Amino acid sequence: SAVGRGPEVPFRSEAYRLGAAARGKELRLRLEPLGPGSPQALVFRFGMSGGFRLRPAASPPRHAHLRFLTRESPPRALCFVDARRFGSWRLGDAWQPGRGPCVLSEYQAFRENVLKNLDDKAFDKPICEALLNQRYFNGIGNYLRAEILYRLKIPPFEKARTVLEALKQQEQERRKKNSSLPLSKKLKLKRDNPDLLELCHTVPMEVVAAEKNLLDPDHADNHTAFKNWLQCYGVPGMSSLRDHNGRTIWFQGEPGPMAPKGQKSRKKRAGPKADPDAPTTEVTTRTSKRRSRRAENPATSAVKKEEEEEEEAVPDLPRRGRARARRAAAAAPASPKPEAPVKATRRRASARKGAGEAVIP
């Protein structure tokens, strides 16, 4: 397409076959001519919204930046669709240098690559940041790191080397302890007590194995099943902080000793603390409701922000007390200096008016 950021693909053939292979966060697509001509390989990265859709060639989806046509009549098009254009492709069959073994397809090599390099300075960082280092954790992204750490109750800002060296020691002790057990019991113990590196393999495998239920390619905008699968990432009742790279990490409990200074985790404001063993998807906080309403209509964010600032102006009162205080203030006789409340009321009214007139794409 005219707005695609990838290079032109110098490939022409009346008939060709497509083949694909995945490794970590990359996909290699290979075009094989069925007649004369040379094959062409492309390597894709998908960003946050990239993916493939098969549609009638006459009506491709929006943001289809690269299209491969079928021979049938009428033809269909296999389209690389990327609304945010964070994805990309490049010519050639080489994987991006600096990426380690794939957590899915090369698990043993992935595990060995991590454990033999624990003296690398990459593991001086918090574990939540180390998990995004594709040199060691090729395939792990933002939602996966939250789910993995949550299941093991590991604070996200614990030092990565501390977590992984303890894992290495536990593995050695487990081997000694289980040396006399039959293979079936060893496998059961391993399955019931996975370590962090094992979950880096099995948690993504859950998504891959259930992809038809979680990510329907014919209904790409329907993420209900996927959201229900999530236990931590973006789930109401969880806390969140921005890591040192500006990426949001979701977690439960204490953040850990290497948490960024000067930040306050966003927590649920009312109700009991989330129970690690209780389902959290039914818990809804006032903060999460505000975020969802803003996401639906960004034009109302100014109004909501003002209302939150008003709420914070009376921090010593309980919530019901705050509401009564505001109602009492509204019903009270006018003060000698009414300019401030009048201005605030006008500002909110104009913001609401603007919100009603806003055009949402």
Does position 331 have pLDDT exceeding 70, yes or no?
no
> For residue range 257-302, what is the model confidence (pLDDT) as tens digits?
999 998 877 764 434 444 444 443 343 444 444 444 544 444 444 3
CATH code 1.10.8.50 region(s) in the chain: 107-259
Report the first-to-last Cα separation within the chain, whole angstroms. 21
Arithmetic mean of pLDDT over the chain: 76
Model confidence at 77, pLDDT cuts 50, 70, 90, reads: very high
Model confidence at 221, pLDDT cuts 50, 70, 90, reads: low
* 149, 253 Cβ separation under 8 angstroms: no
Please give the CATH topology (third level) of the domain spanning 16-91: N-terminal domain of MutM-like DNA repair proteins (3.20.190)
Contacts of 250 (CB under 8 A, 6+ apart): 146, 150, 232, 233, 234, 235, 238, 239, 240
Q: How far apart are CA 243 and CA 47, in angstroms?
A: 19
Pairing of the two strands 51-56 and 76-81: antiparallel
* 229, 242 Cβ separation under 8 angstroms: no
Does pTM top 0.75 for this prediction?
A: no
**Three-state DSSP class for residue 65:** strand
Residue 318 CB coordination number (10 Å): 10
Residue keyed to tokens 């030092």 = 159
CATH code 3.20.190.10 region(s) in the chain: 16-91
Q: How far apart are CA 167 and CA 148, in angstroms?
A: 14
Cis before residue 39, ω within 30 degrees of 0?
A: no
Architecture of domain 107-259: Orthogonal Bundle (1.10)
